[in-house]
Structure 1
Amino acid sequence: MRLRPSRADFLVEDRIPAVTAWVERTTAHLPELIRAELAEWSAVMLNGSTTTPRRRPGSVRTIRNHLYATLPALNTWIHTKDSLRAVSRDDVLDVLPNGGTARSEMLQGLRSIFQILHGRRLVFTNPTARTRVGMPEIRTPVSLDVPVLRRLLDDPDPGRVAIAALLVFHGLRPRQVRTLKLTDLVDGRLLIDEQRILLAPRTRAALNAYLAYRGREWPRSGNPHLLINRATAGRLIPVTGGWINTVLGIPAQALREDRILEEAHASEGDPRRIADLFGLTVNAAQRYAATVDHTSFTEHQRRRGQSSPS
């Protein structure tokens, strides 16, 4: 499979998706029938289904996370099972960890696989039905040091500065950053998911500098996305989350969490305000609000001082 040019001189993507090839490599040691069943699951997850039971396409990250979480169970079953149809509820209970994040993630992954296979009539029953998931372990968010933020915002790379500004000042989700389109920038505002976000002066300056850089580097690119690189400039797809993390040198999610923590501190732990500003549920916002009185967070803020990127 290869990229073929279209009449408009764009490259039309007709290659095997990278995640499909990754699933094939990751499951290569499993029995043939189990490999085929997992290939069907990943295809439905990636592309969705227009036949009953209908399903919307999922994300590549979800596919990877679910398969990673279920590999210990799959590696246990290959000694006694040649197909997932032979897996019973007792088999599932035997491989599940006792509790915590590991149990939650493994059961969610297995539930995803068996729900799809049962819906496609590739297994007789869903052995994960009526099994309690349990609560994952809750990690206390930690803010970043100011010098880290300043290095990103003062970097000579226009792309790095633009990405950092969107995360540091506005706390966008990494997915939102990488899928931003040029048309989402209107009169100094961002239009995202029906929200109108007024850009900070530093963010406007960073985006203007990046757009000038983009125009010099790829003057003929027709990619509608704001952020592009050598691999995407001649295509119509967004950059990947891995590329953004590589450009930043730290996970983009860490910058988003730092911004949310700053807002939690400024609002004295108001979960409603946090939820409204960053598109979180109230329960998710509570995780950040709870850090305001958290001893380790208070000490970190004291050492961090009153300085902030401006």
Structure 2
Amino acid sequence: MDLPVGHIVTVLEEMGIFEDDSEPPFEHWLVGRLEGLAPGIRSEAERWTRVLRDGGPRSLPRREGTVWLSLNQVCLALLEWSNRYDHLREVTRDDVLAHVKTLHGHQRRDQPVALRSLFTWAKRQGVIFRNLTSRIKVGQNEYAVLQPLLPEQVERSVAAALTPAARLVLAAVRAARVAQIAVLVLDDVDLGNRRLIIAGRARPLDDLTLKLLADRLPTGDAGGRAPRTSTTPTRPAVPATTGSARRCKDRTPPLERLRVDRQLEETLTHGPDPLHLAEVFGLDEKTAMRYADSARALLEQDAESGFSRDTRQGGNE
């Protein structure tokens, strides 16, 4: 019937008549990913993977995407060792170092981190006698300086958003990720105070976002809030967001690039303060510091060339 399966399942569960007999995709993926490993290595890798997903006495559960990535990162080394060994405890530190030397680029950073997680868990469980990855340095990413979008790039994205829903998606993406936009409600929008509540944090609205939101939402009360009228406060403020976001994702610049530009703009306007960024946008420490470093580099370049950053920001808005 082409109906949203998730909504149907929710209703049937509330009625108490839903029985899920399908095999979880995770189980099918795990069996296929561990294929070809020696029995002793396979069993320990499976236990470690399940602890990552479900958590344990000394660890919190990870997101399924993180679990997939972690196992994928160690599988190459485990397959190689399975040709010589039957159990994880037979692997030596020289084997780990030899494998790490063959890695380059992002693999040189990601695979040692995943292997460290595996061997740290194995040591705690008494599977191995010592952590073979201790004191092995992990490669570092050298990030380029983030660059703000040109005014014509922003204008092109706004012009390409033909429907009201698509224009609202562009507005919201400037402040949040698509998954966060999908759960926005009318009470999260405060036009009068130029604020948008995302994940419990009040984020300032730039001129572009404010204009697009004002065009889409009905006029509010004296405080500038979007009115509830006949709707409830829990009604989504951004209807059809997911579908509109999918249709917009291939545009130039991409939606994610617009969000990055908004956060960089805030950094340039307020100053390269990572604590401010973390508080306003909910960024983690490393991401906030990357924005701050990029803003600092751009401001230093402008000072050397005599360029006014206000001019560029005005064009973007």
TM-score, length basis structure 1: 0.66
Alignment-derived partner of residue 30 in structure 1: 37
Say if 2:85 and 2:91, in contact at 8 Å, map to a contact too.
yes
RMSD of Structure 2 on Structure 1 (CA)? 4.4
Say if 2:149 and 2:316, in contact at 8 Å, map to a contact too.
no
Task: Map 1:174-185 to 2 at 5 A.
Answer: 176-177=180-181, 180=183, 182=185, 185=188
Structure 2 residue 96 is the aligned partner of structure 1 residue 86: no
Task: Map 1:226-237 to 2 at 5 A.
Answer: none
Change (3 A) 1:195 1:229: closer
Structure 2 residue 288 is the aligned partner of structure 1 residue 287: no
Say if 2:53 and 2:61, in contact at 8 Å, map to a contact too.
yes
Structure 2 residue 249 is the aligned partner of structure 1 residue 248: yes
Structure 2 residue 142 is the aligned partner of structure 1 residue 137: yes
Alignment-derived partner of residue 78 in structure 2: 74
Change (3 A) 1:25 1:138: same
**Pairwise CA distance, 1:165:** 1.8
Aligned partner of 1:72: which letter?
L
Aligned mates of 2:121, 2:247 — CA distance in 1? 34
Say if 2:151 and 2:316, in contact at 8 Å, map to a contact too.
yes
Structure 1 vs Structure 2: percent identity of aligned residues? 25
Structure 1 residue runs without a partner (length 5+): 210-222, 231-238
Alignment-derived partner of residue 156 in structure 1: 162
**Pairwise CA distance, 1:95:** 0.9
Alignment-derived partner of residue 280 in structure 2: 277
Aligned mates of 2:30, 2:127 — CA distance in 1? 19
Aligned mates of 1:133, 1:66 — CA distance in 2? 15
Alignment-derived partner of residue 119 in structure 2: 114
Say if 2:38 and 2:86, in contact at 8 Å, map to a contact too.
yes
Alignment-derived partner of residue 260 in structure 1: 263
**Pairwise CA distance, 1:163:** 3.5
Aligned mates of 2:38, 2:111 — CA distance in 1? 20
Aligned mates of 1:207, 1:273 — CA distance in 2? 29
**Pairwise CA distance, 1:305:** 5.8
SS in 2 for 1:96: helix
Aligned mates of 1:158, 1:122 — CA distance in 2? 58
Select 1:166's aligned residue among 172, 183, 190. Answer: 172
Residues 69-78 or 6-15, more deviating: 6-15
**Pairwise CA distance, 1:13:** 6.8
**Pairwise CA distance, 1:96:** 1.0
Indicate the structure (1 or 2) with the bigger Cα radius of gyration: 2
Alignment-derived partner of residue 45 in structure 1: 52
Change (3 A) 1:6 1:193: closer
Change (3 A) 1:267 1:229: closer
Aligned partner of 2:295: which letter?
A
Residues 85-94 or 271-280, more deviating: 271-280
Change (3 A) 1:132 1:265: same
TM-score, length basis structure 2: 0.65
Residues 158-212 of structure 1: per-residue CA shift (max 9 Å, x gap): 55443332222x2x2555445x354872655543444223554235347749xxx
Say if 2:146 and 2:291, in contact at 8 Å, map to a contact too.
no
Aligned mates of 1:134, 1:89 — CA distance in 2? 18
Aligned partner of 2:91: which letter?
V
Structure 2 residue runs without a partner (length 5+): 1-5, 219-233
Say if 1:101 and 1:137, in contact at 8 Å, map to a contact too.
no
